[in-house]
Amino acid sequence: MAPKIHFIYGTISLLAVVTLVLYRDGTPTILPPSPGGGGGECRAMFEITKPNGETWNRDDPYEPYARQLPSLVHSGHEDAPPVTLNSTRLQILWGAVPYIPCKIRDYGDAPFVECSAARAQAGRTTWIALVGDSQMRLKLHLLLHILPRGLAYTFTMEGREVSKQEFEEAVVTHQVHPSDFEVIGRHPGSEVSPQDALPVRRNSSRETEGANGPPGDAGAYVLRVTLVWAPLGSKRGHPLDQGLALTTAMQEWAEATSIPDVIVVGYGLWFLLMKQFEGELVPFTEMDRLTRPLVAPLTTLAARTSVLLWAQSRFRGFNFESPLAIQGTDPSSAWKTNIYRQQFAGSIPILDDWLWNILRATGMWRWDTLLPFNLASLKECQYLHAANMSQDTFYLSRWWNCADSFHTSYRTDRDEFQLLLNLLCNPFLVPESGFCCS
């Protein structure tokens, strides 16, 4: 049965890629891909081009792109439960996303090692930085499970070396709140520079000319992944607390000789926690106030390396639609619970757009090409919820992550990581191949 299902979905996906046709209200509509041809357009891999440079503060314009994607859920016959596929959308599409004008290569474990070696031969190490809130933190958790084998790794939190188990537990639960997490992979037996053990806020282990110049300390590390905890942009902490701690990594990287090869920035959801207690507009004014200090350093960094503003995961409010969620509570508590939930509904696209309008002049890219992936997953989870499958193991798993009302699925996170690898690896492994960034 499984091979037949995969064949059916493979055929459907192929047809979707070849035709690029979307039926809206019964009328076929062809959506043009983002501008750019061949493999030379890196930006088109990350950013959906909008007409006349406009921005979108709602999800309606993204829905047609989501409907071009293959479904990972197939309705069962008669009383049979829905059939779910365990693949990612990029795998089903063979890397050919209908609205992205170049093909995305799938990097497994071995090619990633090959990529690191090719970059090292060209005098470059590989450093990925994530800056933001729990969305970025859970992306780091996924990376821990797909790091290339064959390297010796060290794990640090705020410069303090810890075991992988302690590191992973802190990343997942976040019961402790270090300002940064870092993973450094080296060839076994290579010497560790004392600078490598310093926190992220210090200069890194290699000297470069710009973002990608020749290393002064070749071989210090092969792979480096840094997470800067910055749920409020230039500060960290709960938005209703007093005395928030400063986040200075952006400013220090802007002044450093060595900087990450790609920086992914993603935050905003925490500001909405102010809506319930402070008012409707306060989250937006506070986001403006706490983001402005990042404009100058991000402008400097965007001129030297790839800086991406990630489109946030959308709210899965259907998980709260059952009256059982507030059954047995007094009316006052039930009303407060409802207010808390509703402060997220419909606000995330507006928050995303507001943040982009603050930061778009920096030269960074708005990473929203996989937002349709997220919206498609949301629709599938909603369908499974309506089919009374919300207690099934896969619905609760991080791979599907349907029960999590805020964070992306690890399935979509993996596809996002593939785009980052195409950005970092294609120029070295598959030049002039037609893949994105080649």
Q: What is the pLDDT of residue 29?
A: 38
Is residue 119 very low, low, confident or very high in pLDDT (cuts 50, 70, 90)? confident
Task: Tell me if 303 sits within 8 A of 363, measured CB to CB.
Answer: yes
Task: Report pTM.
Answer: 0.82
Q: Determine the average pLDDT of the residues in 331-354.
A: 77
Q: What is the pLDDT of residue 95?
A: 93
Given a cut of 60, whether residue 24 has pLDDT beyond it is: no
Q: What is the pLDDT of residue 345?
A: 72
Is residue 388 very low, low, confident or very high in pLDDT (cuts 50, 70, 90)? confident
Given a cut of 90, whether residue 305 has pLDDT beyond it is: yes
Given a cut of 70, whether residue 4 has pLDDT beyond it is: no
Is residue 396 very low, low, confident or very high in pLDDT (cuts 50, 70, 90)? confident
Average pLDDT, the chain: 80
Given a cut of 80, whether residue 161 has pLDDT beyond it is: yes
Per DSSP, the three-state class of 235 is strand
- 57-66, 76-85, 284-293, 365-374: which has the minimum mean pLDDT? 76-85
280 or 379, which is more confident? Answer: 379
Given a cut of 80, whether residue 346 has pLDDT beyond it is: no
Torsions phi, psi for 281 (to 5 deg): -95, -15
7 or 371, which is more confident? Answer: 371
Cα–Cα nearest to 223, from 344, 97, 132, 119? 119
Angle at 404 between CA 403 and CA 410, to 5 degrees: 100
Q: How far is it, in rounded angstroms, from Cα 369 to Cα 45?
A: 7
Q: How far is it, in rounded angstroms, from Cα 92 to Cα 13?
A: 7
Task: Tell me if 183 sits within 8 A of 171, measured CB to CB.
Answer: no
Query: Computed over its alpha carbons, how large is the radius of gyration of the chain?
Result: 22
Given a cut of 60, whether residue 201 has pLDDT beyond it is: no
- 7-11, 83-87, 222-226, 323-327: which has the minimum mean pLDDT? 7-11
Per DSSP, the three-state class of 435 is strand
Q: What is the pLDDT of residue 400?
A: 85
Q: How far is it, in rounded angstroms, from Cα 258 to Cα 208?
A: 5
Q: What is the pLDDT of residue 327?
A: 55
Number of residues written out for the chain: 438
- 335-339, 356-360, 408-412: which has the minimum mean pLDDT? 335-339
Residue type, 406: F
Torsions phi, psi for 157 (to 5 deg): -125, 115
391 or 294, which is more confident? Answer: 294
The percent of residues in the chain predicted with pLDDT above 70, rounded, is 78
The percent of residues in the chain predicted with pLDDT above 90, rounded, is 42
Contacts of residue 216, defined as CB under 8 A and 6 or more positions apart, other chains included, come to 206, 207, 208
